[in-house]
Amino acid sequence: MATTPAPTAPRSAVRSLLRLWPYVRPVRARLGTAAVVAVVASCTGLVIPLVLKWIVDGPVADRDTGGVWLGALYLLLLGIAEAALFGLRRWLVARPLAGVEAAMRADLYRHLQRLPVAFHDRWASGQLLSRGTTDLMLLRMFLAFPLTFLLVNSVTILVGVLIMLAQDWTLGLVLLAPALPVMVVCWLFEKRYSQVARRAQDQVGDLTTLVEESVLGIRIIKGFGRHRSQALAFRDLSRTLRGTELAKARLLAGIFAAITTLPELAIGAALVLGTVQVADGDLSAGTLVAFLSTALALRWPVESIGFLLAMSQEAATATERYFEVMDAAPESGTGQPADAAAPVPVPTRARARSQNRSSDHDGLRFENVRFRYPDAEAGSVPVLDGVDLHVRHGETMALVGGTGSGKTTLTALVPRLHEVTAGRITLDGVDITAMPRQELRTLVAVAFEEPTLFSAGVGENVLMGAADTAGEAELRRALAVAQADFVHALPQGTDTQVGEQGLSLSGGQRQRLALARAVVGTPRFLVLDDPLSALDVHTEALVEAALRRVLAGTTALVVAHRPSTVLLADRVALLSGGRVTAVGTHHELLRTNAEYAWLMSGRTETSERETR
């Protein structure tokens, strides 16, 4: 199972969140307007205590019933205005933030398509899924609520404190007493919560990976009766995540207790002191009512600090996780890999095309190719070391070797699914690293030993290997070559949905569709990794007969394990220990190379047993 690389060095929450600015910038005017509206709405609520003061010290003291009703009308209008302004704020942010989330998700998906295969080999798919779903949801929630209300509540608290100080500065100082302890608590909370939040989000990714693998591998789980062990693994991960979430809850409970208790004690002290002042005639009852009403109105802005900080920390860790993927270097368009040896001079494309087809530059050539996987230890033995091989224009070359000899790795280098560590590969004399990847992959078609199909129609899966202009005629021709006429008997023919991973089809059917996808675009270069391994001998013979006509018009490199597949080739290359040790025809190598004869004798005996 792929793992998740260790997280990068932690940044401050502010620095992490500032990386969202390029996405927020296009909608900054609307978000700014929403923030201003929210500030006005919150400050409108602070006018209510002043109206209460006027009612108590005026109409109530004077026993003016009409004044009381007028004050009630003012309070009603202020309440309606506050509610309307908060509703307007929500309307202002809904559409732009949905757009921000969609843009970030689209960029993430686009970037994932451009990342090299080595990246996907290292990363668990569940971790990538959680970054594109859960993390982006957290970011949208942060932009919709904490980002605005950290500002709104700060302004509200400042204005409220000024109002209370204007009412009575001694009571105001009493309420300000908990400010320093609250700030210390928030600082400690922020440091600890960021670590727990990151751990929880990584564990969600691990759990997502387990669920995804269990669904995709349900046949293996059922076939080997491993449902209990998978359930136990799921339970262990769930319990780990539960423990982390409880740790988050404990931290939140702690900060809520501190942020709630300290201001409440201050309000209680202010109430006692204010009551004494009213009794002594040093303070009017209306002023005390206004003061306490303002203090109570500030309870939510103060108490929400912990909640807003928690959401901000989760958004900061979500931002870090998102940009861990976005910061990964994509496949370069052209150019040698950073650790490659000095390149051999590359002829221009015009010059390459002008060369005679009999030139040694034509076809597919590997020149002193060396390859080591990017995450391999320094000094480890390379998978391929000094591979020299020339597949002439229009020739079919079979690639034979024992398990682990590097055959599949060598074929993956041609379309640049991996980059060579040293040496170079040329197509008709042009170094593949000098070509844009898009152009290279229109010249080279591939079919892998493990065929991958998508949740789409049969026709859509096959036509992925052709230009957008390909139509029904090309589809029928490719299906005929791959002996995949079984699709016409499916319920909706070529429009039949094959289901996730194509698991609704047999292994041989999937492999034939993958082969049809490789040949549908009539590519100039064809790379096939044991494309007939899942076929029965009768279907294999039919496919080989049709494939022979296709191979006659292209330059092909075919990984072969069966003698019948080897016989499709003009020549055979033996790969052993990461090197090409022999090249010749099948019959020449049988006579002159003991390793090749041993490999083919085993294949032949196996084939004979299969036909009995």
CB of 560 within 8 A of CB of 398? yes
- For the segment 143-157, the average pLDDT, to the nearest whole number, is 85
Q: Are 284 and 393 members of one domain?
A: no
- Same structural domain, 368 and 320: no
pLDDT tens-digit readout, 231-269: 888 889 899 999 998 988 888 888 878 877 887 888 888
Q: Is 241 contained in some domain?
A: yes
264 and 406 both lie in a single domain: no
Q: Please name which of 281, 303, 430, 453 lies closest in space to residue 367, comparing C-alpha atoms.
A: 430
Q: Are 384 and 410 in contact (CB under 8 A)?
A: yes
For residue 230, what pLDDT band results from cuts at 50, 70 and 90? confident
Q: What is the mean pLDDT of residues 315-334?
A: 83
Mean pLDDT over the full length of the chain: 81
Sign of the CA dihedral running 490, 492, 494, 499: negative
Is 340 a member of any domain? no
> Pick from 273, 299, 326: which residue ends a domain?
326
Q: Is the pLDDT of residue 609 over 70?
A: no
The answer on 284 and 368 residing in a single domain is: no
Are 536 and 461 members of one domain? yes
Are residue 299 and residue 382 in the same domain, yes or no? no
In a domain, 83, yes or no: yes
Distance CA(526)–CA(391), nearest Å, equals 11
Instruction: List Cβ neighbours of 341 (8 Å cut-off, separation of 6 or more).
Output: 368, 370, 422, 423
CA 287 to centroid of chain Cα atoms: 57
Predicted confidence (pLDDT) at residue 355 exceeds the cutoff of 70: no
User: DSSP for 311-327?
Assistant: HHHHHHHHHHHHHHHHT
Containing domain of residue 388, as a range? 363-611
User: Over 80: is that where the pLDDT of 534 sits?
Assistant: no
Question: Which of residues 276, 311, 326 is at a domain's end?
Answer: 326
Please check whether residue 331 lies inside any domain of the structure: no
The answer on 530 and 589 residing in a single domain is yes
Say whether pLDDT at 351 is over 70: no
Position 501 scores a pLDDT of 66
Residue 11 lies in a domain: no
- State the pLDDT at residue 134: 87
In a domain, 353, yes or no: no
What is the arithmetic mean of pLDDT over 41-60?
A: 81
DSSP class of residue 200?
H
Q: In this structure, are 289 and 383 located in the same domain? A: no
Residue 189 contacts residue 306 (beta carbons within 8 Å): yes
Question: Is 30 within the bounds of a domain?
Answer: yes
Please check whether residues 224 and 305 belong to one and the same domain.
yes
CB 586 within 8 A of CB 572: yes
Please state the length of the chain.
612
**How much is the average pLDDT of 359-381?**
81
Both 306 and 380 in a single domain?
A: no
Indicate which CATH number applies to the domain containing 233.
Answer: 1.20.1560.10
246 and 106 in a single domain? The answer is: yes
CATH of the domain at 451: 3.40.50.300
Is the pLDDT at 399 greater than 80? The verdict is yes
Q: Which range is least confidently modeled, 109-123, 267-281, 462-476?
A: 462-476
The answer on 396 and 315 residing in a single domain is no
Q: Quick check: helix, strand or coil at residue 1?
A: coil
If one counts the domains in the chain, the total is 2
Tokens matching residue 346: 């590359």
- Evaluate whether residue 10 is within a structural domain: no
pLDDT for 58-110, tens place per residue? 777 777 787 788 888 888 888 898 889 888 888 888 888 888 989 999 999 99
Residue 224: its pLDDT value, please? Answer: 67
pLDDT at 413 over 80: yes
Give me the phi and psi of 251, to 5 degrees please.
-65, -45
